Every structure is written in C-alpha cells, then in structure tokens.
C-alpha cells in the first residue's frame, strides 16, 4: 500500500518579501514555557522508567501542566517570596503493571525539580515553588489501543510546519537564546523570564524585550537603569551577527521610573507574582509564535513519543520541510508541510501528507515533485526513530 503524498505549488508573496511580519518567543523562564518544559521532562523521565523496567515505553500523556502564580515582594537589594508558585502536574500514565505499582509520582516530581534547578537558577526549588502531582491512570480505550504495540495513531489530528525561518524569526530566536545563554554570567541582574517580540516593517525590525530583573543583584534604581541599558546595548550589538536588517531594541517598556515602577523580581521569574502558565499556550515546536505562518494549536510537550501524532507529526513536518527546502537548492522559496492522521491507523501511513511549495521565479513544481515525494515517504517510514530522540531530549518542542 502506497502512502498518500500530495505535492502542489502555491502562489503568494513569501514572508521575507511581505512588508510586515510579527514574531514572538517566550523564553525558557516564561511560565508557559516552563509548563511545556516540565511536561516534556516528566514524559522523558516516565519513558526512561518504563524502558528500564519493561523494555518499552508504556502509555502516558503528561501534557496538562499548570502553573499558578505566587506572590512576592521584590525590593532593591533583595526582596522575598511571600507565597510560592504552585506547579500542578496533570495527565495520565500507566501506574501499575501485573499488580506492581510504579513510582510514577516520585519520578514525575523529581523530573520537574531537576528541570527547575538546571534552568531557573535564581529560584529556590525548596521554598519558592510547590509541586503537586495529580497524574492518574490513562483511558482504558486509549491504553488498549496503545498496548497493541502496532504504533497506531491514538488520535485523528495533524501536524504542520514550514521552512525556512525568516530573518525576523532567526533574530527573535537568537536574541532570547543569547540573553539566556552564557551572557547570564556576565549580567546576573537579568533573570530567565525573557519574552521577545519582533515587529518588522520593510527592512526594519523592532525588538521589544520583557526581561525580569533579579532584585538582589540590583542595589538601587540607578543600577537598575544601568543594567537595562547594558542589556539593550548588548542585544543591539549582537543583532548584526544574525541579520543585516536595521534593528532597534527596547527593553522593559512597561517601566515608569518616575512612578517607581520596575520589572523587578526575586527569582527572575514572573510566576513568583501572579503570572500563570499552561502547556501549549506558548511557543510552537520550532520555538516561535508566528502568526504570519501556518501553525498548529496542538500542545506538543508531554505527549507520549510513541504514537501521539499531535507530537510526532508536528516535529516530522518541521524536519521534513527544512530538508525539502535545503535539498531543492534554491528552486523553492517556502515549504508548507501538513500531515494528518486517522485514529487507529498506522502512524507511518497518514491520511495525507501534503507539501505546498512556493517555487522560485521561473521554476515549475514538476522539477522538485519526485524528490519531495521521496523525502516525505522516507521520513514517514522512519517516523518511529523520533521516539528515542524525544526521550533523549534531542528534539526541540518549545
């Protein structure tokens, strides 16, 4: 049985040649991204536990993490967390096998704490946050479908992605990664909760950055102003390494120095003071929020990495779109890829895999049609290879 693969050309103005563009990234300390990251960390830890005990990944979906913001009283020189933020781990997992109860709750909580300690270094995991695990048993119907080991789709859903990233998208992504990278050691005043919004008009891009500042590293208002200015300058100077477009940078525009309003935090995270978070409410699988592009609303993080098509197809679509674009050697300007499943059917035989290609001037789709079909067919045949890459943390999902 052959796979249903559709390749067609489309006609529109590519994003890079449109006058305007909007791109957003919620950084690793944003509560929505923390929710995604913890959900994925819990899934990976459960998968490793199942593999260690039973040699296979058992049914689970841990994609319902919720963060309820706490309360804090930041102050120059150091404030205090008044009420810890609450992280609620929700989802379904295999909790018992052949009468043997599994340590799924302790495994999940440990994974959440390990992530926070590694990536939110200004947070005291023992006092500034509480973690409540409400993960329970999975649906009997879905679990029965999952346990056939035939890798059948557990939902009728789709994945969608595109390639290549635009200059604005690369800039927004690169800016957050720059701020939350080694730069942190040089400017500890800047916390991990970073949000970057890029707005392009023609060849000019304005970056608006919200950066949670850490109060204990900032003794007074003058130091705060200086730290914000230094962050602005460093981002401004880093931008030419990513794009040659005209870039202007604004940081913490909600501040009002005269009114004594500053984006000051105790932990470098906005979740310390009322900012909530949920899985799937932030970045898509390519790490960006891109309203000018085809996007799925699927919450990918935490879904099981074996048969959940909402996870597998979104990532496969991203990787195949990039591969198709690169191998076309300049014959394609944009690739839009969509893959749709049917519940109960093999995940490597979707209802349809559709590649829409925006061809370069003067190039007909027939020139790349066979190669595009081949790449999609090969990718689908290897879709199960994604599973262990997810478990090893090798695939970006937020």
Domains and CATH numbers, the chain: 5-16+156-165+281-391 (3.30.300.280), 31-146 (3.30.300.10), 167-276 (3.30.300.340)
**pLDDT band with cut points at 50, 70 and 90 for residue 184:** confident
All residues at 6 or more sequence positions from 210 whose CB lies less than 8 Å from its CB, including other chains: 193, 194, 195, 251, 252, 254, 263
pLDDT at residue number 147: 54
**pLDDT band with cut points at 50, 70 and 90 for residue 379:** very high
All residues at 6 or more sequence positions from 141 whose CB lies less than 8 Å from its CB, including other chains: none
- Per the CB < 8 A criterion, the answer to whether 371 and 328 are in contact is yes
- Per the CB < 8 A criterion, the answer to whether 131 and 113 are in contact is yes
**pLDDT band with cut points at 50, 70 and 90 for residue 148:** very low
CA dihedral defined by 156, 104, 396, 153, rounded to 10 degrees? -20
- The per-residue b/e assignment along 217-249, b for 16 or more CB within 10 angstroms, e otherwise, is bbeeeeebeebbeebbebbeebbeebbeeebeb
For 314-359, the pLDDT digits (tens) are 999 999 999 999 999 999 999 999 999 999 999 999 999 999 999 9
Residue 286 has pLDDT above 60, yes or no: yes
For 17-52, the pLDDT digits (tens) are 999 999 999 999 999 999 999 999 999 999 999 999
**pLDDT band with cut points at 50, 70 and 90 for residue 146:** low
What mean pLDDT do residues 203-218 have? 98
What mean pLDDT do residues 155-162 have? 94
pLDDT at residue number 235: 98
**39-53, 68-82, 127-141, 379-393: range with lowest mean pLDDT:** 127-141
**pLDDT band with cut points at 50, 70 and 90 for residue 69:** very high
> How far, in Å, CA of 365 to CA of 332, rounded?
9
> How far, in Å, CA of 15 to CA of 275, rounded?
33
Q: How many CB atoms lie within 10 A of CB 59?
A: 22
Higher pLDDT, 55 or 1: 55
- Per the CB < 8 A criterion, the answer to whether 50 and 104 are in contact is no
**Averaged pLDDT score across all residues of the chain:** 95
Residue 287 has pLDDT above 90, yes or no: yes
Q: Is the peptide bond before 164 cis (omega within 30 degrees of 0)?
A: yes
pLDDT at residue number 140: 38
For 224-259, the pLDDT digits (tens) are 999 999 999 999 999 999 999 999 999 999 999 999
Joined tokens for residue 342: 């049917």
Residue 80 has pLDDT above 90, yes or no: yes
For 85-113, the pLDDT digits (tens) are 999 999 999 998 888 899 999 999 999 99
pLDDT at residue number 139: 43
What is the distance in angstroms between the CA of the first residue and the CA of the last residue of the chain?
Answer: 35
pLDDT at residue number 98: 83
- Per the CB < 8 A criterion, the answer to whether 3 and 350 are in contact is yes
Token pair 């018992």 is found at: 96
- The per-residue b/e assignment along 314-340, b for 16 or more CB within 10 angstroms, e otherwise, is bbbbbbbbbbbbeebeebbbbbbbbbb
């Amino acid at each position: 049985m052959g796979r249903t693969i559709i390749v067609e050309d489309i006609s529109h103005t590519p994003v890079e040649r449109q006058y305007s563009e909007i791109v957003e990234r919620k950084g690793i300390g944003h509560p929505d991204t923390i929710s995604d990251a913890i959900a994925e960390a819990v899934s990976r830890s459960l998968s490793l536990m199942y593999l260690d005990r039973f040699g296979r990944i058992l049914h689970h979906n841990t994609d319902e993490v919720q963060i309820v913001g706490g309360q804090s009283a930041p102050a120059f020189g150091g404030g205090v967390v008044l009420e810890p933020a609450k992280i609620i781990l929700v989802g379904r997992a295999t909790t018992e096998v052949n009468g043997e109860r599994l340590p799924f709750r302790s495994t999940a909580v440990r994974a959440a704490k390990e992530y926070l300690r590694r990536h939110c270094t200004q947070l005291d995991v023992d006092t500034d946050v509480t973690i409540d695990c409400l993960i329970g048993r999975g649906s009997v119907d879905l679990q029965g479908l999952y346990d056939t080991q035939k890798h059948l789709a557990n939902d009728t859903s789709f994945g969608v992605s595109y390639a290549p990233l635009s200059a604005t998208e690369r800039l927004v992504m690169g800016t957050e990664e720059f701020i939350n990278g080694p730069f942190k050691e040089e400017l500890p005043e800047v916390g991990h909760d970073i949000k970057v919004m890029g707005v392009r008009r023609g060849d000019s891009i304005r970056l608006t950055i919200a950066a949670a500042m850490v109060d204990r590293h900032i003794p007074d208002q003058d130091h705060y102003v200086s730290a914000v200015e230094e962050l602005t300058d460093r981002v401004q100077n880093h931008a030419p390494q990513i794009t040659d477009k005209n870039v202007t940078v604004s940081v913490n525009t909600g501040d009002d120095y005269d009114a004594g309003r500053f984006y000051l935090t105790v932990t470098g995270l906005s979740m310390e003071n009322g900012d909530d978070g949920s899985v799937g409410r932030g970045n898509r699988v390519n790490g960006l929020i891109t309203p000018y592009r085809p996007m799925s609303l699927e919450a990918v993080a935490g879904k099981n990495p074996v048969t959940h098509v909402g996870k597998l197809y979104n990532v496969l679509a991203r990787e195949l779109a990039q591969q198709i674009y690169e191998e076309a050697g300049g014959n394609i300007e944009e690739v839009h890829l969509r893959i749709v499943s049917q519940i109960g059917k093999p995940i490597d035989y979707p209802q349809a895999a559709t590649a829409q290609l925006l061809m370069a001037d003067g190039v007909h789709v027939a020139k790349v049609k066979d190669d595009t079909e081949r790449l999609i067919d090969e990718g689908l045949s290897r879709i199960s290879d994604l599973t262990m890459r997810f478990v090893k943390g090798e695939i970006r999902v937020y």
